[in-house]
Amino acid sequence: MYCSKCGAQNQGDSVFCSKCGNNLAPQPTAPQPSNDVIKVQIEETRHLIKQNGNAFGICVVGSVVSALIAVSIPEVEIVLIVFAVLMAIAAIWKWQVTAKYSTKKANLIKMLK
């Protein structure tokens, strides 16, 4: 067998490379998670999607309401416009987080056997 690191030829039953000392024993591959484990992860991801989706909705409503109040009450206009912008930024962020978890969920579903 040939060393994967230095390419030196070693005896078939060698555990370490005689030239560089590289471990020649077959590396254990990470076990595939079982369907049950994947299903739990999908459920957790689904929960996170729902949470972040709700937060996204609250931010959108908060942003729109702040903007509407800012238009009708000039005295607090600046404060509410700043608040509306912050809420809009938070909404975009929550939307991105939700999209990320949606991709993760799709990948998990693909892993199901």
Could you say whether residue 24 binds Zn ion (CB under 5 A)?
A: no
Report the C-alpha gap between 70 and 102 in whole angstroms: 35
Could you say whether residue 5 binds Zn ion (CB under 5 A)?
A: yes
Report the residue from 6, 89, 109, 111 that binds Zn ion according to the rule CB under 5 A.
6
Stretch that binds Zn ion, among 8-16, 28-36, 40-48, 65-73 (CB under 5 A): 8-16
Could you say whether residue 19 binds Zn ion (CB under 5 A)?
A: yes
Q: What angle do CA 2, 8, 10 make, to 5 degrees?
A: 60
Could you say whether residue 102 binds Zn ion (CB under 5 A)?
A: no
User: Please, what's the b/e burial string for 50-61 (b: 16 or more CB within 10 A of its CB; e: otherwise)?
Assistant: eebbebbeebbe
